[in-house]
Amino acid sequence: MSRITPELLQTLHTSADLYDAKLDRHFEVHARDGKLYQSEYQTDAQGKEIFRNTQKLDWIIGAGANGLGALAERDHYLFQAPLSFYSKTGTWGPSPGYEFGDYGFNRPILAGCISCHSGRPRPVPETNGKFETPPFTQVAVGCENCHGPGAAHIHAMDSGDNSDNGSMIVNPADLSMDLANNICMSCHQTGNIRVFQEGKTYQDFRPGTPLDHVLSILMVPPDKASPPQADHLEHFYSMTLSKCYRSSGGRMGCITCHNPHVEPTQAEAPAYFNAKCMTCHTQQSCTLPNVARQRTTPADNCIGCHMPKRDVQVISHSSITNHRILARSDESFPESAFHQTTAALPDLIHLDPVPGSKEDVVPPLTLLQAYGELAATRPEYVAPYLKVLTQLEQTAPDSALVQAALGRRDLKSGKLPEAVDHLQRAVKLGSQQATVYGDLAEATTRLGQPEEGLALLQKATALDPFNPQLQRNLVARLIAMKQYTNALAAMEHYLEIFPQDSYIRKMLTLARGEPSP
C-alpha cells in the first residue's frame, strides 16, 4: 500500500482511455495537480454524456509483480477503483471482480482484503467498508505483521512481564513449523471460507500463536471428479499436496523456501530457488538428462519445470506460481487429497487446526457461519446449516448472531411474528449489522406495520449507505407507501452514489415528468 503523492505519480502510468462494449461504458485515468483520478461515463447515440463519475484516488495497492490497483476514500469508506494497471500488458483494464458487473466507484474494500495488503488497517467492525480516521496506522506490510507487535513487546520487557506470548516479538524460524506456517496462512491461504472466532478480528492475530484461535480456514473437500485446481492464495494447501511436503514429516513449510526479507529478481530467481531445492535434493535426483536441462530457458531451472506459473483464474493478465511441486506435469493427485475430512467434521476440511491439538473440534458458532455462507451457492450445506442452527438455538440463545440467523430462517419460511422476535432480540443483544435491520424491516412490513418497517429500512441504509440493494428497497418502499416526494429525493440521492444505474435514472425521469432521452 502506498498513498498517492506527486512523487509516486512520477513512477506510474497515469493516462488511459478505454471503452467497455459489454457495459457500454467509457473509462479514463488522468493525473492533475499532483493527484490521480479515474472517470466512468456513458454517452448516447449522439455522443452526449448521459452521466460522468470522476473520483480522486488516494491509495495504490499492490507490489507491481502482476499489477497495481487503486483505492478511493469517501465519507470514511474505502472503495476499489474500476480500473487497475496490469504489468504484463502495460495497460489499465477492469479491476479484479469487475468482470462480473459495473460497480463504479462503490465496491467497498473489506477487512479481509485490506488486512493482507497493508500493515495496520483500521476497519470499523460490523460495517461494509468503513474505516477509522486515519484508515491505516501503518500503510505497507511491515515487520510487525510477521514478528508481532513492537509496542507490546517493549512494554512487556520494561515491566518484566513475559507471561503473555501474544505480546512477544517472535522469530518465525524459531517456532514450530506449524506455527510458522500459520503466520503465512493468515494471508496466503483462503480455503472456501474464513470464519472468525466470536469477537475476534484480523487485528487480534499475533504471530507465534495458533491462527485458529482467531480465524478458522475451512475448505470444501475435493473429489476425483473435481480435484483441487485453485492457485490464487491457496499456496499452503497446494504445498501439502506435494510429495516433497508429504515426505518431510512436517519439517517442510513456507519458510523452507521463502525468506520474507529476500526477494530475488526474475533473473536471480532460478539460481536462488535451485539452491533451496538442493538442500534436500541433488543434481542426480533429476531424471531429465543434463543436456536437456541446459536447453530450457533459463537453463537448469528447477521451479520452471516443477513449479510452473499459470494464469490466475480470477485476475486478468496475471500469473502465479503453482505451489504443488510436481515431479511430472501429468502427476495425479495423491489419494490422501480425497480423504482429508474427519469424523468430527465430515463435510469440510479444517486447514488451520491448532497445532498439536488431539481433537480438531470446530465450534458450532464457527460452523454456523461457514455453512451459512456456503449454503448460498452449495445446496448440500443447507441441511448442516439448519441442523447446527437448531442446536445453537438451545445452547447459545444469547448470541446476536444466532438470533439473527433464527430470524432470517423464520422470515424465509413465513413465520413472521417469530422472525420479528428473533431479530429484535439480535438488536437488543448488540447487533449493528445492516442485514439484521433489513430483515426486520421486511418482516414488520409484511406484518402490516409499514411505518415501522420504513424506519428500520432507513436504519439499515444508514448502517450500510453504499449498499445498492438496500437503497433500491428504500425507493420501492417509499413509492409503495405513496410518499412520492420522499421517493423522488431517495432516487436523486441514489443516483448521486450510483450514477451508472440506468433503471433508477429512467424511474427518476418518469417521476419528474421529463421526456425520455
Coil, strand, or helix at residue 223?
strand
pLDDT at 165 over 60: no
d(CA 455, CA 460): 9
Copy the grid coordinates of residue 111. Answer: 477487512
Beta-strand (E) ranges in 209-358?
215-219, 309-311, 319-321, 349-350
The residue among 186, 201, 188 whose CA lies nearest residue 145 is 186
Q: What's the pLDDT band for 401 if we cut at 50, 70, 90?
A: very high
* Predicted structure pTM score: 0.91
So what's the pLDDT on residue 164? 58
Cα-to-chain-centroid distance, residue 352: 18
pLDDT at 390 over 80: yes
Residue 111's Cβ-count burial label (10 Å; 0-12, 13-18, 19+) is buried
pLDDT at 66 over 80: yes
* pLDDT digit string, tens, across residues 131-141: 999 999 999 99
In angstroms, the Cα distances linking 468 to 20, 269, 465 are 22, 46, 8
Residue 455's Cβ-count burial label (10 Å; 0-12, 13-18, 19+) is middle
Report, as an integer, the average pLDDT of 419-439. 97
Which region holds residue 249: left if phi is over 0, alpha if psi is between -120 and 50, else beta?
left
* pLDDT digit string, tens, across residues 237-267: 999 999 999 999 999 999 999 998 998 988 8
Decide if 128 contacts 116 (C-beta within 8 A): no
Q: What's the pLDDT band for 166 if we cut at 50, 70, 90?
A: low
Pairing of strands 2-3, 131-138: unpaired
CA quadruple 353, 355, 356, 357: dihedral positive or negative?
negative
Decide if 119 contacts 140 (C-beta within 8 A): yes
